[in-house]
Amino acid sequence: MEKIAEEIITQLKNKGFTIQRYDSMTSKSIYIKLDYGVSQSIRISDHQGKKHLKYRFNVHTGIEQPYQENDGQFERFYYGAGDIDQLIEDILEHRKRRIIDFGKSSYQYFMQKNKFEGTNKKGFWQSAQEV
């Protein structure tokens, strides 16, 4: 999973994303927040996650074909280890739509707002490292 995370991080940083990374202490899972969460997050794992935690983008090493789910509130995308190029393409398209919807200056504002509000939050925000 480390190799997958590094590939994703390298590609997204080259596309101008701000990346925060958290490695789980209790499993092999790696969590990546994109642009302080404005472009959502990625979960990389070899097992199912907790039901109450929902990530927009998910890489699961046991998946053979990419698929998506919609629970009525939130659309989530699932990729296998061999689908990283598709993941990157989908993330870039997602950010592009966000910038169109919000406007570039509002997108930047939301990034700074999330960063400021998350600074002292427990959990991911307190444990993650900007890479």
Dump pLDDT digits (tens) for 26-46. Answer: 788 999 999 999 999 999 998
- Tokens for 41, please give them: 């997050």
Our measurement of the distance from residue 75's CA atom to the centroid of its chain's CA atoms, rounded to an integer in Å, reads 13
- Enter the DSSP assignment of 26: S
What is the model's pTM? 0.89
| Gap between the Cα atoms of 42 and 97, Å rounded | 17
| Gap between the Cα atoms of 128 and 114, Å rounded | 14
| Gap between the Cα atoms of 95 and 9, Å rounded | 15
| Low-confidence winner among 2-6, 73-77, 91-95, 109-113 (lowest mean pLDDT) | 73-77
Dump pLDDT digits (tens) for 48-103. Answer: 766 656 789 999 988 989 999 998 888 999 999 999 999 999 999 999 999 999 99
